[in-house]
Amino acid sequence: MEYFIDAVKNNYMNFNGRVRRKAFWMYILIYFVISIVASIIDSVLGIQLVSLIVSLGLLLPSISISARRLHDTGRSGWWQLIGFIPVIGFIILIVFYVQDSHEENKFGVNPKSLDEADADAAV
């Protein structure tokens, strides 16, 4: 849950930097669960207001974390636009999202190496 809260609260509109795979996929998982709950509430109420509010409220954090995940793989955040190509665009984005982090690139230092350095300092 901390990954989701961090993405929404601290990095709401942060399109700079990088994010690890784990943080990205945990955000997506929690977003998916929240969307399902909102859909259930909508079906009970008979309107689609809750899903609309959730989708609009999480639109910018979702774009932001996707851009930072693409930065981690060495790509520009503009690659998200390839998702508008039916089926193939979605598949290409998934492949990009699951790729491993690259070492230091123009978007910053590898967050994986930063996390490992923090773990070593704690020991």
Residue 34's pLDDT is: 95
pLDDT over 70 percentage in the chain: 92
Q: Of 64, 78, 71, nearest to 11 (Cα)? A: 64
Mean pLDDT of 89-113: 84
pTM value is 0.82
Residue with tokens 């969307």: 35
Residue that wins the pLDDT comparison between 114 and 118: 114
Residues 26-76: tens digit of each pLDDT: 999 999 999 999 999 999 999 889 999 999 999 999 999 999 999 988 899
The pLDDT assigned to 2 comes to 78
Looking at the DSSP bridge assignments, the partners of residue 105 are 108
- Of 83, 71, 82, 75, nearest to 111 by C-alpha is 71
